[in-house]
Every structure is written in structure tokens, then in C-alpha cells.
Amino acid sequence: MGEDRWGTEQQKRNNEEDKDKKPFDIEKYIQIALIIGIILIASMRFGLLPRANVVNSTGNSLNQMAVEYYLDKYGQEAGAEEITTNTRNFGCHREIYVYRDGELVMRMGYANGRMYEIQ
């Protein structure tokens, strides 16, 4: 009989302890994860955290490669004063615009480590 009594008393104590414990609240953790995600995205968007931006590091070399390709393919025309380039990042690829004397003469694309001429 002593064992039954001890068992029931122990069960009562366990039940009281379980009442004091709060259940696992998954919604709380989901809310915290969402807040952290929003903060990270906002900080990258506004430049508070560094992000990989390949255009800044290779933009000049892409422009130089586009000019070299243009000169190899079309040659330097007599009277052409100035060849300039402009690079635009579309996220999935970059486009390099080659201008001769202010007029667009060629477009090049860069994606997955390869350059190609856009017709």
C-alpha cells in the first residue's frame, strides 16, 4: 500500500510541475525567425550588410573585354573619336553597351562566366 501511495503522490507532484511548464510555442519561434529575416533583407537592401556584387569588382574588366571584342571584330574606324561602355546589371546577367562617338554600336551579355554578343 505504501507503494501506491508514493506513486500517487509522485504523480500529483509531476502533474503540478507540468502545469507550471509552458507548452512549446511554435508560433513564437516562427515570429522571431520572420523578424530576423526581415531585418537581414532590409539591411542588405539598404547597404548595411555587405553582399556579393560582382559588377563592382569586374565591371571594368567586362567593359574592357567588350571594347577589345568590338575592336577585333569591327576594327577601329578612321575618324572614330571615342569608344565608351556602359554596364547594366539585370540580376541574372549583365549587359555591356558599347558606344562609338555616342552612338550604340554593339551590345554584349555576360552570364555564368561567359560573354556573348547580343544581336
Mean pLDDT for 107-118 is 88
pTM reported for the whole predicted model: 0.48
Q: What is the pLDDT of residues 45-84, one digit of tens each?
A: 666 655 444 343 345 788 888 888 888 887 776 555 688 8
Residue matched to cell numbers 555587405: 50
The predicted structure's pLDDT at residue 54: 39
Q: What are the pLDDT digits (tens) for 2-55? A: 555 556 777 777 776 666 666 678 888 999 999 998 888 877 766 665 544 434
Secondary structure of residue 97 in the 3-state scheme = strand
C-alpha cell, 53: 556584387
